Amino acid sequence: MAELDEDYGNYTYEYYMEYGDLEELKVRRILKHACLDITKSSLRELSQSISATEMESVPGVQQDSDPEEPVESSAL
């Protein structure tokens, strides 16, 4: 059985060289890295959006409230 390897999908580079289609391997790697880039970008945008949302005032909460009082917040 072929050895498992994360970088090449389910099989190692050597397995593809001997038994598989090298073009398929290249396409899989390109797709994998593209998906990872998109995921990282989406997570970065989500994080920035959450940070921006946290800075906005919460409706119904007074801006000049006492710092010692508990403050209501909305769930994200």
**Sorting pLDDT into bands at 50, 70 and 90, what band is 2?**
very low
Q: Is 45 helix (H, G, I), strand (E, B) or coil?
A: helix
As a residue count, the chain comes to 76
* Distance from C-alpha of 22 to C-alpha of 63, rounded to nearest angstrom: 62
Q: Give tens-digit pLDDT for 20-48.
A: 677 777 888 899 999 999 999 999 999 98
pLDDT value at position 23? 78
Mean local confidence (pLDDT), 4-20: 62
By percentage, how much of the chain surpasses pLDDT 70?
Answer: 46
pLDDT value at position 26? 81
pTM: 0.42
